[in-house]
Chain A
Amino acid sequence: MPFRLLVADDSSMQRKVIKRRISEAFADREVEFLDARDGREALACAREESPDLVLLDLTMPEMDGFEALRQIRAARPDVPVVVVSADVQPLARERVREAGAVAFLEKPLDGAALAEVLRDHGIG
């Protein structure tokens, strides 16, 4: 069974970077990537596609990552959400923890930190 990973970021470049990092770190693991370009798409995808984990940006159009996180956690409390954001305010970090994110990773993304978080949450 592939590991189904939802990557929600309005930047297609950022989604590509994340996928490349994960494919390099877990070359022996089959990973199926699901894409979302904003919070609404992320929420719809989390509801309909049953991902194993969500990587979620915060600053996105339509619905921001804070709201998407709250709604994804309400709809799919079994799915871990990792926030990947350039919003490095301590309050942002605190709020996503309170809303149920399992980890917060800063942009620009550190590939080793991403791999470690994914390992802790079932990809390995």
Chain B
Amino acid sequence: MIDFSEDDYDVLREIANVAMGRAAADLAELLGVFVELTVPRLEVVSGDDLLVRLQDTAEKFDEVSAIRQSFTSAVDGEVITLFNQAVVSTVADLLGYEGRLDPAKEREVLLDVSNILVGACLNGMGGLMNTEMRFGAPSLLCEWMDVRRFLAKMFAPERLDWEYTLVIKIAFALEEREFKSDLLVFLSERSVGVVGASIESYLDNL
């Protein structure tokens, strides 16, 4: 399994940090509120260890809706956006929607917010690594499912078709609101090797 040095992780964290900042700015502009950020977390994880490594996510949420989107470029992989239940009502409130949203409108809200976060984050990372991202169509993986059940179903080792991945975890929360969303970016095994070269390219441009 390829892994990175502490210095490499430091650079990758900084790339994720810049990308996260742009995503937060886009979300803040849409909703007109302050987005609280924490330090992004990154690690290369084997398929066998992935569920354990996502324990903090499992503890943070109760029921989640999840959206998956693939991406390709010099690096490729998948991103899963997790939302807590308050996201829909919070966004509806902030955007001034009247009454309770029907399920179709709820999905639209989740897809829109996911699109903003994923687009800004991954385009930001791609830009800093000198590669242009192309995205697949987003799909709804689950609606208000117990987070532990969802993670166990998605990331059971026997279901994974790769040995290891670089996981990037980025958390978004809104100030004084219940809105919580985690972006889980999984870079493919091939990409983990490519990322090393991107780190050098990023450092050269500093």
Contacts and interface: CB of A to CB of B under 8 A. Distances in A.
SS class, residues of chain B in contact with chain A: helix
A15 to B, nearest CB: 10
A13 B11 contact: yes
Given A10-B39, A13-B7, A59-B38, A88 B25 contact: yes
Contact of A14 (B14, B24, B39): B14
A102 B34 CA distance: 21
Interface string A32-76: 000000000000000000000000001111000000000000000
Contact of A86 (B10, B11, B18): B18
Contact of A13 (B10, B21, B128): B10
Interface string B55-70: 0000000000000000
Interface size class of B (residues with CB under 8 A): 20 to 34
Q: Is the interface of A mostly helix, strand, loop or mixed?
A: loop
Contact of B7 (A10, A12, A59, A109): A12
Interface residues on chain A, size class:
20 to 34
Contact of B206 (A59, A91, A95, A108): A108
Interface of B: 7, 10-11, 13-14, 17-18, 20-22, 24-25, 28-29, 34-35, 37-39, 128, 203, 205-206
